[in-house]
Amino acid sequence: MTDEQDARARALIERAAAKWPLRILHVLSDAGSPLRFSRLLERVEGISQKVLTQTLRTLESDGLIIRTLYPEVPPRVEYELTPLGRDLLMQVATLWRWIVERLGDFDARNAVKLTATTV
């Protein structure tokens, strides 16, 4: 891997692992069909309109979602996962399951650490 590839990969990981992108991708995946902005806003608990807009733009520019504008009055915009977005979620799900299966190990390690610092 070149330094440039490493830098690009790290930037993509940082963007995807930020607070909202994976949650938005998960909501789109669960929906099973395209969602309008307002439906996404309702389903992604705690996100503001501004942050949702910014995150959707980033996900679109990274090729993880498709934004479809329907020329109606008023205009309708829908968002859906791309194959690349679905593939990313599959990879993340594997990591997620690995972590969940080992939560006890992480908890045990933290308990040992806490005990060591209080003694």
pLDDT in tens, 50-73: 999 999 999 999 999 999 999 999
Residue 119 — very low, low, confident or very high, per pLDDT cuts 50/70/90?
low
Distance in angstroms between the alpha carbons of the first and the last residue of the chain: 46
pLDDT band at 109 (very low <50, low <70, confident <90, very high): confident
pLDDT tens readout for residues 23-41: 999 999 999 999 999 999 9
Distance of CA 43 to the CA centre of its chain: 13
Please provide residue 80's backbone torsions phi and psi, each rounded to the nearest 5 degrees.
-150, 160
Task: Compute φ and ψ for 28, nearest 5 degrees.
Answer: -65, -40
| pTM (two decimals) | 0.82
- Looking at every residue in the chain, the average pLDDT score rounds to 91
* 115, β-bridge pairs: none
